[in-house]
Chains A and B, each alone.
Chain A
Amino acid sequence: MGPESLEAKQKAAIEEILKAYPEKAAKNREKHLGVGSPNDENQKTCGDVRSNKKTVPGVMSQRGCAYAGSKGVVWGPVKDMIHISHGPIGCGQYSRAGRRNYYIGVTGVDTFVTMNFSSDFQENNIVFGGDKKLGICIDEIEALFPLNNGITVQSECPIGLIGDDIGAVAKTKAKEIDKTIVPVNCEGFRGVSQSLGHHIANDTVRDYIFDGKVNVTTNDVEVTDYDVAIIGDYNIGGDAWSSRILLEEMGLRVVAQWSGDATIKEMALTPKVKLNLLHCYRSMNYISRHMEKEYGIPWIEYNFFGPSQTIKSLRKIAAFFDESVQAKCEEVIAKYQPMIDAVIAKYKPRLEGKTVMLFVGGLRPRHVIGAYEDLGMEVIGTGYEFAHDDDYKRTKEEIFRSTVIYDDVNEYELEAFVKKLQPDLVASGIKEKYVFQKMGLPYRQMHSWDYSGPYHGYDGFAIFAQDMDLAINSPVWAHSKAPWEKEG
């Protein structure tokens, strides 16, 4: 497939797809679809797509809600706090332990990530308000889980609609039990996607964790010149650990992980680090900017998917520090290079030229492109569930060829794009997985790493390569067609 023909195919696919919509919906969706080109300076965002707008009603979007962004993404992984899903029972149940935010701790005793705490609203709580019940919930949590280091209240839709004042309850109770209690107004109807939930959650971290507001000791950790924090790594399948090891090997001290395997103390320590390292820009740029403004901590974005980007990122990080770190950085790169060369030598011949279409969330639609390309695979389509313009601008830097860009793609569109562009691999989420597997297409879940991982760092890349080979070269896809079926 030459570049011209690919681009033409992609443009034709968009045109074709839009025909199915009623006029108003077609007009709307047209702005969210485009073809990105690595050489096109005129495009404002990748493919000139519009983003972060309301979803067209009735079309099976893959988006989640603000609660998912706050409880599911930002706050949920903080392991020594208890996160109450405040409202009816469903939200907490559907989001329980699905994201694979790994952590070390005794669950139910000193850590609580995979558990589900719900205020389980009943009709009388809707009618008469749920503030009183919330207060009792907090008392009961304190009695039964005394080693918790704080509580967050994650609001579900009704809270903001019935006029409850969770802020007041949190304030009173925090004083009473002498622990941090964070009220989060992340009701699912706020904003257009998970994205606003990230922002709201970031703001509550700012308001309730920084400036000595927490009730855990932080002054026992002395500051060094090499302190950094990992921001926006949710330790899915252990990603933050396979990142952390590289930073430590180059002589840096990782004081905090946000928020995979995080504790409240690490977050409270962060305003004293020398540099914030931001992996998922979308979900945690807000708090990084705040720390820059308020405490003068610079932040840089990095990408630990695939060796090319990892090496670039390691050097970028090292450049911020002194020569000793820079020298160690080169040692780290040299140390892992033979392993990476061997991984590529092993898998590239099996994967070269295979095409990939992606659709994921925060950072992966652009960050993983390099990892695929390191293996000789070609990403020909990508898009985000909940990105903003700045994400699509960044995506321009990451694509290698004409790439169809679909913002907030829905099930109809993604299926149609795949049918038209016929990639060898689709990499997206659980909701889409079996649609494409039914069609006989290799598929990898790129939210949960399909229960494998980690994929970050050098060790993670080896797993990534092995998993992509597993998916693409498995014999099972050839079985779809029965021997009695005629060719063609």
Chain B
Amino acid sequence: MQEVEKIVNGKDLFKRPEYQEVLANKKQFESSMLAVNPAKVEEIAEWTKSWDYREKNLAREAITVNPAKACQPLGAVMVALGFEGTMPYVHGSHGCVAYFRSYFTRHFKEPTPCVSDSMTEDAAVFGGLVNMKEGLKNCAAVYKPKMIAVSTTCMAEVIGDDLMAFITAAKEEDGGEYLPAEYPIPYAHTPSFVGSHITGYDNMMHGIMSQLTEGQKGETKQRINIIPGFETYIGSLRSVKSIVEAFGTDYIMLGDHSDQWDMPAGSYEMFQGGTKLDDAKDCINSSATISLQKYATSKTMKMVEKRWKHAGGFSNPIGLKGTDEFVMKLAELTGTEVPQKLKTERGRLVDAMQDSYPYMHGKKFAIWGDPDFLIGAVSFLLEMGAEPTHVLCHNAPKGWAEEMRAMLDTSPAKDSLNVWAEKDLWAMRSLLFTEPVDFMIGNSYGKELMRDTGTPLIYIGFPIFDRHHLHRYSISGYDGALNLLTWITNKVLDQLDEDTKGIATTDYFFDLVR
């Protein structure tokens, strides 16, 4: 029973004898093997750690277990929330939207506006035109967004709804009451059964950029567009902007959700910040476009390079080398020297790397996440002399594995470094048991791997649900690399203390100074 002076929640409550008795008593009715035959559980648990299990596990071709990817419309919602006053609108069932909103909200600890047009069985039969007509009208009336960005769920894609025709029809029927002809409603088809959330990002970004710029082509301006990609680190967006600003150049960040998902307390406005719509319309007239995530923007950048003929290209500013390349690209595009501010920042980062290298050098890491994140983060690990033993990308697009392999091949330890494209986190579990590492870098889904294999987890990635405020920091630019260095080094030091804290047994190595 609770003691009123010290009320405990479930964490400690269920440890008490009266609850332990309840749990033990329950077992007589259970069919789970732990209740029926604990020895069998032990046996199978051991087997799951074996090479035999690993071979069977890695040979799976149909069932995905513990994925490290999500579906297209999630990325489309992120794009929409990076534009001024824009409501993400998902054409399909509202269950999907409830999921996107809770997923982002759990990560950012921020509200995530998004509507759906609530298609149900009748829409499955007759198509979702009626839903679209009513949905756009209601959305415009109630939330008064400056733009509505329409994406789709798999339901709408399977029945083959035609977004462009539907949006036109909705505007016509509305007759301009809520949806004037010029009201911007860009759209993108985002089928969940193709690619992953980064594909949806690409499709929606392509949709917004191509549709808003229709008829806007004018004189080219000396200005750089920056497309961040599926970036879940708010601080990264700010780091990138600060680097570009250091060059004093005119720029547009296309899809800047840094204010939307980082609102100050005090009052609530549904929309904050974002790329100005006028800028978005004019982005076709910039002289260059740099995408910070190659694999999350391939379709968009194809349009920009082939049709818009922009200079720029890809540059991934995670880690020292990646940031150097980004800075040099900006220097080249602007025709200016690298500003002293950045030179100083770089110097400070290198200084820090030289202070901490003994703790990362030679340490083995397992890491997973989105393809572009991995390119940057693995580059940084290599820059520090660490060994990325298992690099796993569930949503690896074509070409990623080769690029990653080539990077790993620059390491002296290359023969023990592995690329795992299109594998899930249950595969990772086998890898960790059979070829163990010192640390893991990944998202919250790594915590079960941490529990099962005992490998310490450094939380870097998306989604992070069970650690607070990490998403507010940067992992891009020189300052972002310093954050990566700090998090990783200090986890190594925490673990060193953990391993040496045995009183009178190992604590001679429990050093005060490291």
Residues of A at the B interface (CB closer than 8 Å) are 20-22, 24-25, 54-68, 79-80, 84, 87-96, 98, 102, 104-111, 114-123, 125-126, 133-134, 136-137, 139-141, 143-144, 146-147, 149, 156-158, 160-162, 188-192, 194, 216-217, 221, 237-238, 241-242, 244-245, 248, 254-257, 261, 263-266, 269, 335-336, 339, 342-343, 346, 410-412, 415, 429-440, 452-454, 458-459, 462-463, 465-467, 479-481
Contacts and interface: CB of A to CB of B under 8 A. Distances in A.
A140 B142 contact: no
18 contacts: A20-B141, A57-B116, A58-B142, A61-B94, A62-B98, A110-B33, A110-B34, A115-B426, A117-B65, A194-B95, A241-B23, A244-B26, A248-B22, A415-B268, A436-B268, A439-B268, A454-B9, A454-B13
A147 to B, nearest CB: 4
Interface string B478-509: 00000000000000000000000000000000
A98 B154 contact: no
A20 B60 contact: no
B203 to A, nearest CB: 14
A80 B135 contact: no
Contacts of A149: 31-32
Contact of A158 (B4, B135, B158): B158
B114 interface: yes
- Ordered nearest first, which 5 A-B pairs have the shortest CB separation? A65-B95, A90-B71, A265-B31, A58-B135, A57-B135
A261 B448 contact: no
Interface string B246-271: 00000000000000000101111000
Contact of A117 (B56, B63, B102, B103): B63
Residue of B7, B22, B109, B116 most packed against chain A (CB within 10 A):
B7
A96 B41 CA distance: 24
B134 A56 contact: yes
Contacts of B56: 143-144
Contacts, number: 359
Given A157-B155, A161-B159, A64 B10 contact: no
Interface of B: 1-4, 7-10, 13-14, 18-19, 22-23, 25-26, 28-35, 40-41, 44-45, 48, 53, 56-57, 60-67, 69-74, 89, 92-103, 105-106, 109-121, 123-124, 131-132, 134-139, 141-143, 153-155, 158-159, 177-178, 191-194, 196, 263, 265-268, 426, 429, 445, 448, 452
A64 to B, nearest CB: 5
A98 B32 contact: no
A162 B159 CA distance: 9
Contacts of A117: 63-65
Given A58-B134, A65-B94, A140 B63 contact: yes
A57 B118 contact: yes
A79 B33 CA distance: 11
B31 to A, nearest CB: 3
Nearest to B148: A58
A122 B60 contact: no
A53 B8 CA distance: 41
B105 A430 contact: yes
Given A90-B71, A110-B34, A462-B4, A480 B44 contact: no
A440 B266 CA distance: 6
A450 to B, nearest CB: 10
A91 B266 contact: no
Contacts of B112: 431
Contacts of B121: 189-191
B67 A118 contact: yes
Given A157-B155, A158-B154, 8 more contacts: A96-B445, A110-B44, A118-B65, A141-B63, A147-B32, A189-B92, A261-B26, A452-B10
Nearest to B131: A57
B41 A147 contact: yes
A241 B31 contact: no
A84 B63 contact: yes
A119 B64 contact: yes
A289 to B, nearest CB: 23
A87 B157 CA distance: 13
A46 B168 CA distance: 41
Contacts of B45: 106, 109
Contacts of B35: 263
B6 to A, nearest CB: 10
Contact of B124 (A91, A189, A238, A453): A189
A93 B70 contact: yes
B105 A431 contact: yes
B178 A237 contact: no
Nearest to B11: A452
Given A109-B48, A147-B40, A462-B4, A59 B101 contact: no
A119 B62 contact: yes
Nearest to B140: A58
